[in-house]
Amino acid sequence: MTTGTPRAHAPATLRNREPILEILQRVLPAKGIVLEIASGTGEHVAYFAPRLSPDLLWQPSDVSADKLNDIDLYARESRAMNILAALVLDTQDPWPLHHADAILCCNMIHIAPWEAAIGLIEGAARVLPANAPLVLYGPYKRQGEHTAPSNAEFDKGLKARNPRWGLRCLDTDVLPLAIANGFRAEEIIPMPANNLAIVLRRTE
């Protein structure tokens, strides 16, 4: 059942939500707070929350206050009782919460300045306990190279929109940053449309 209220829609969520859900079913804890960073339209959290443990409390967030209404609309339409009201969260600013048991971040690192990724990893290191997962999803380079021609074109388009955006190299950018902040790479999983899911674990 829908409210009929106009709100944003991200077509990619329909393609990637099932593969991401399969990973979350394996790596998330049975209970606790899951912080979603860069929730965007809110379609992911509205899909995941009712299909995972009811003892997981989901906290959606986005850098843009303009997106919070859409996120909350999708949450209400899902009828899930374990989704909190969306928060504004800029990874480069002080975070509005001090603890999470897991963090999910989809399709942010390439559509933001590199400083946002630094803030994401450093912030996750502050709020996650030992052995908690940080799950990233999106397109990445490997060993400095694009993994598909479509990713190269996508990267070119992103940089045309903003020179500070673009696909990051998993091996030379993201993983070294994560390791330096007390994470280990548990899994790197190929996903649809030349994307990757990265499961990191807090080690300290």
Residue 158 · residue 138 · CB < 8 Å:
no
Instruction: List pLDDT tens digits, range 129-176.
Output: 999 999 999 999 999 999 999 999 999 999 999 999 999 999 999 999
**Is the pLDDT higher at 4 or at 182?**
182
193 or 83: whose pLDDT is higher? 83
Q: What would the pLDDT profile of 54-104 be if each residue is shown by its tens digit?
A: 999 999 999 999 999 999 999 999 999 999 999 999 999 999 999 999 999
CB neighbourhood size of 64 (10 A): 12
| pLDDT tens digits along 5-20 | 555 655 566 668 899 9
Residue 53 has pLDDT above 60, yes or no: yes
CA pair distance 136, 126, nearest whole angstrom: 17
For the chain, the 3-state helix, strand and coil shares in percent, each to the nearest 5, are 40, 25, 35
List, in sequence order, the alpha helices (H) in 37-173: 43-48, 68-78, 114-127, 149-161
> Reduced to 3 states, what is the DSSP secondary structure of residue 158?
helix
pLDDT beyond 60 at 2: no
Under CATH, which architecture does the 12-202 domain have? 3-Layer(aba) Sandwich (3.40)
**Domain extent listing, the chain:** 12-202
Q: What is the pLDDT averaged over residues 28-49?
A: 96
pLDDT at position 150, please?
96
Residue 34's DSSP bridge partners are 58, 102
In the predicted model, is pLDDT for residue 3 greater than 50? no
